[in-house]
Chains A and B, each alone.
Chain A
Amino acid sequence: QKEVEQDPGPLSVPEGAIVSLNCTYSNSAFQYFMWYRQYSRKGPELLMYTYSSGNKEDGRFTAQVDKSSKYISLFIRDSQPSDSATYLCAMSLEVAGKSTFGDGTTLTVKP
């Protein structure tokens, strides 16, 4: 069993839809939870960074962490075609430490 499992997708939604991306994990020691966006042939770009349980909002993006369930989510409101990319969840034991990644979910937002 992988340490981090991510809903595989791919996801295809119409412009303006709300998108939900999810990951589960098995290591309860993870403290830092990240969501990255990756375009084809590019390095990952950090979207959201959360410490421990709770919610964090940044514009159209909301990250949720439920440590009791070992479950994290990323919500994208009013999705845009420019949001089309692969989204990766990642987790680490310490701040800026080595990360364990999910396999990624490819999202396509259709105009």
Chain B
Amino acid sequence: GAVVSQHPSWVICKSGTSVKIECRSLDFQATTMFWYRQFPKQSLMLMATSNEGSKATYEQGVEKDKFLINHASLTLSTLTVTSAHPEDSSFYICSAGTNEQFFGPGTRLTVL
């Protein structure tokens, strides 16, 4: 099946720094990718829809200036958490697909 990768798999950073997470579709092209966030023992919450060549669409309550999304090519979307704070610590997961959604392995962000 189709593969979606994420990098890094985990990251620890200091409060106030910015962190970039990459999501790649390895064997197919994705005009749309989705970014989710999952807190411990909770479900996946959609943050935004990443659109290749245009602006991302953010879900209600998600700060677009804090979570910057860039979908510069048909195989790569990046999520940058700017000025990260401890409350941004979470598991970030992307997905992509044409006939079905394939999820990446996730990136665990810990902000100290």
A interface residue numbers (CB < 8 A to B): 6, 34, 36, 41-46, 49, 88, 90, 92, 95-96, 98-104
Query: A41 and B103: CB pair below 8 A?
Result: no
Number of interface residues of B (CB under 8 A): 24
In contact, B43 and A96 (Cβ under 8 angstroms): no
Q: Are A44 and B44 in contact (CB under 8 A)?
A: yes
- Cα distance, A54 to B97, chains bound together (Å): 23
Q: Is the CB of A96 within 8 A of B106?
A: no
> Per a CB cutoff under 8 Å, which of B42, B45, B98, B105 touches A43?
B105
For residue B28, give the distance in angstroms from its CB to the closest CB of chain A.
Answer: 11
CB pair A101–B44 under 8 Å, yes or no, is yes
Assess the B91–A41 pair: CB atoms within 8 A: yes
Contact B101 A41 (CB under 8 A): no
Q: Are B43 and A43 in contact (CB under 8 A)?
A: no
Write 19 A-B pairs (CB below 8 A) sorted by A numbering.
A6-B43, A41-B91, A42-B105, A43-B6, A43-B93, A43-B103, A43-B104, A43-B105, A45-B103, A46-B100, A49-B100, A92-B101, A96-B32, A96-B99, A98-B46, A98-B49, A99-B95, A99-B101, A101-B43
A31 to B79, CA, bound (A): 29
A104, B42: Cα distance in complex, Å: 7
Whether A44 touches B46, Cβ cut-off 8 Å, given contacts A96-B99, A96-B101, is no
Residues in A neighbouring B104, C-beta threshold 8 A: 43
Neighbour of A88 across the interface among B43, B95, B101, CB < 8 A: B43
What chain A residues lie within 8 Å of B102 (beta carbons)? 46
A110 to B28, CA, bound (A): 39
Q: Please tell me if B108 contacts chain A, counting CB pairs below 8 Å.
A: yes
* CB-CB nearest 3 A-B residue pairs: A43-B103, A101-B43, A103-B43
